[in-house]
Structure 1
Amino acid sequence: MSTRRGRNRWAERTTVMAVVLGWLVSTQVQATAEARLPEGSADHYAGSQIAKHEGTGGSERSAPSGEGGVEGIDVSSHQGEIDWAAHWAEGKRFAYVKASEGTDYLNPHFEQQYDGSFQVGMIRGSYHFALPDRSDGATQAQYFVANGGGWSADGQTLPGVLDIEYNPYGSTCYGMSGTAMVDWILSFSDTYAELTGRWPVIYTSTRWWAQCTGNTGDFSATNPLWVARYSDSVGELPHAWTVHTIWQHTSTPLDQNLFNGSYDRLVALSTGVPALQ
């Protein structure tokens, strides 16, 4: 994609940027903790709209047998304070925590969820629920990074996630053309990379991507894919991706995920080495 020119320049300064930003984000999160908005209709968790539009695929299921990989979960304010030790005992080794939505919602349980998962030994990261019709991609990436979405090369922090899915408030594709949607995602991704030194993971579903981008936009060379599909197999992947990094395979009783690789590759993703080669 021609708009991606100049990306290689970020690779040379990834480590320095990540260390500095990690400190800045930590400071900002502490400073804004008391200003977080309360829970409410603005809080949509990863896959909430995918489940609504595509179905949940039936009852609760454990990690699909024979798939291998590393089990994890993702959470939002809907789970409140979490017993992380219990999830660790069940074999969960990574977690993604919702940090923000649009530019006016912050998860009031973020600190307990994000820090709690870290304290029991999980590798954790944070995600942003996108509202592309509210503000541009760069603005939402900046908001996310300033409020818990940063990354640091400590071996226990996963790159941040852009959660892009069906519009919870109206038009499925936020009233945007496929070209405009791809441009918005690219703006978010490039801004996140500029601020953190890492490309964000993209969370989406194959059906949404086909409908709202027209199966355009090739992010496969830079952005790891976290695909949502509530079934016994991961199925067809969104346009251009030939491999997935994380699969959200069920949303009941809470979102459960499977990392596509061994634990050492999960650690590699957290340190900046590509998870899948």
Structure 2
Amino acid sequence: MNSDRQDEMQNRRWDTADNAIRSAVDRVRPAADRIGAWLAPFIQRVLQFLAPLINRIKETPAARRLRERVAPRVQEAREKLPEGNRTRSMQLGAAVAAVGVVGLVIGSATSGPSQYQVDQAAQSGRIPAASPVTPEQVEAAREQGVDAKPEQLAAAAEKKQQNQQPEPLAPVGPPVEGIDVSNHNGTNIDWNKVAADGKKFTFVLATDGTSFTNPQYDAQYHGAKDAGLIAGAYHFARPGSSSAEEQANRFLDTIDYRNDGKTLPPVLDLEVDPKSGGCYGKSVSEMQQWTQTFNDVVKDRTGKDPIIYANPSFWKQCMGSSDFSDHALWLASYGVDEPTVPTGFEDWDFWQYTDKGKVAGIDGSTDLNQFQHGIERLKQLAS
């Protein structure tokens, strides 16, 4: 029997084997779908239960060493596999198809029905390349001193993400006293005297609407910080004059925000229209959208959810008591022993309780405030 005849017969055997694999997968697929649907709730609970353990195991030294040893061999196998080698292609295709059948069960349990292209899997002759490593993974690996191999970079990035747990809240302490100032308070503020008078924080007007910038902002803001106060900047919103994006970006371009442990999140000051006493000619839904857009810009640029300044009547009238409970609330309410928290917030964080306060180092009256939760939580808010 000549070699051409042998090759032809061998090719027929390969084709027969490929067809058998695809036929077997097609027969198994309906049963796998039914089994997957039946097992889905159970598998989901098991995976949720095991996820923390699996993540811990993945980060053990032994697991990392195993990944490092296996990865080069997988790469070598991939490089040695010729594109046209039918025998190895069929063998790998059979393995991929078998994994695909199991994937039908697991996939349907973890992510719903999947459209597997089993024919393509059975004929595939290449092991899929690893996902590209992102710049964030490179940075995470370098910070941890990991060699820049793709498998190590991915593991380092995953570990860094797992370690970024929220800092536990400090214990609640006695209320902390502070003030807020604007251009009306001038430049002759003796911030050392303010600090000696027991004030721990201040808010400083930075911008108003579309065009006004407090000419005293830099002196007031940095003067307070230099005296040891925790400082924050606020923007007086005018939703009727320009877009939320424009006002937010102008505000952020002005305030010199820094995540330095001495700076409170930026503040959005929401009050009724000074000219009309209304809601700037906007509906409740339009006011809600304007506010959310402003907040999104601040969060994108600083990583912080802005503090919201408002009073109960404004929040009900113009904001429809909408839920912004994921933001700290700076509540304006004068002449009461305990302020009423607007619907949409769980509690107040800062309380502006008078505009007729007297503070050492400041001529005339100024606004007085409290932070409800104590100095340690105030420091956490500024971190």
TM-score (norm 2): 0.52
Q: Which of the numbers 194, 199, 203 marks the counterpart of 1:87?
A: 194
Aligned to 1:263: 375
Q: Which of the numbers 313, 318, 331 marks the counterpart of 1:212?
A: 318
Q: Which of the numbers 216, 221, 228 marks the counterpart of 1:121?
A: 228
Displacement after TM superposition at 1:137 (Å) = 1.1
| Deviation readout 1:50-92 (Å, 9 max, x if unpaired) | xxxxxxxxxxxxxxxxx93110000000000111112111100
Aligned to 2:331: 227
Tell me, in whole angstroms, the C-alpha distance in 1 between the residues paired with 2:222 and 2:339: 33
Please tell me the residue identity of whatever aligns with 1:218. D
Query: Is 1:242 the equivalent of 2:346?
Result: yes
Query: Is 1:156 the equivalent of 2:262?
Result: yes
| Deviation readout 1:2-47 (Å, 9 max, x if unpaired) | xxxxxxxxxxx9xx9xxxxxxxxxxxxxxxxxxxxxxxxxxxxxxx
Larger Cα Rg: Structure 1 or Structure 2?
Answer: 2
Assess if the C-alpha contact under 8 Å between 1:247 and 1:259 holds in 2.
yes
Tell me, in whole angstroms, the C-alpha distance in 2 between the residues paired with 1:69 and 1:254: 19
Assess if the C-alpha contact under 8 Å between 1:229 and 1:247 holds in 2.
yes
Assess if the C-alpha contact under 8 Å between 1:234 and 1:247 holds in 2.
no
Q: Which of the numbers 127, 135, 146 marks the counterpart of 2:242?
A: 135
What is the root-mean-square deviation in Å for CA atoms of aligned residues?
1.7
Aligned to 2:253: 146
Counterpart of 1:133 in 2: which secondary structure? coil
Superposed counterparts of 1:56-71, under 5 Å? 68-71=174-177
Aligned to 1:102: 209
Aligned to 1:35: none
Please tell me the residue identity of whatever aligns with 2:223. G
Q: Which runs of 5+ in 2 are unaligned?
A: 1-135, 140-172, 357-364
Displacement after TM superposition at 1:152 (Å) = 2.2
Aligned to 1:182: 288
Counterpart of 1:258 in 2: which secondary structure? strand
Displacement after TM superposition at 1:124 (Å) = 0.3
Displacement after TM superposition at 1:210 (Å) = 0.6
Please tell me the residue identity of whatever aligns with 1:142. N
Counterpart of 1:218 in 2: which secondary structure? coil
| Deviation readout 1:203-252 (Å, 9 max, x if unpaired) | 0001111111222x21102x110000002333221122111110000001
Please tell me the residue identity of whatever aligns with 2:263. T
Aligned to 1:166: 272
Tell me, in whole angstroms, the C-alpha distance in 2 between the residues paired with 1:235 and 1:256: 14
Q: Which of the numbers 70, 73, 76 marks the counterpart of 2:182?
A: 76
Tell me, in whole angstroms, the C-alpha distance in 1 between the residues paired with 2:337 and 2:298: 31
TM-score (norm 1): 0.71
Tell me, in whole angstroms, the C-alpha distance in 2 between the residues paired with 1:264 and 1:86: 22
Higher RCO (CA < 8 A, seq sep 6+): 1
Tell me, in whole angstroms, the C-alpha distance in 2 between the residues paired with 1:171 and 1:122: 34
**Number of residues of Structure 1 aligned to a counterpart in Structure 2:** 204
Tell me, in whole angstroms, the C-alpha distance in 1 between the residues paired with 2:294 and 2:338: 26
Displacement after TM superposition at 1:262 (Å) = 1.2
Q: Which runs of 5+ in 1 are unaligned?
A: 1-12, 17-66, 272-277
| Deviation readout 1:103-137 (Å, 9 max, x if unpaired) | 20100001110011011100001000000000111
Tell me, in whole angstroms, the C-alpha distance in 1 between the residues paired with 2:238 and 2:344: 23
Displacement after TM superposition at 1:99 (Å) = 0.3
Counterpart of 2:207 in 1: which secondary structure? strand
Displacement after TM superposition at 1:96 (Å) = 0.5
Please tell me the residue identity of whatever aligns with 1:229. S
Assess if the C-alpha contact under 8 Å between 1:137 and 1:184 holds in 2.
yes
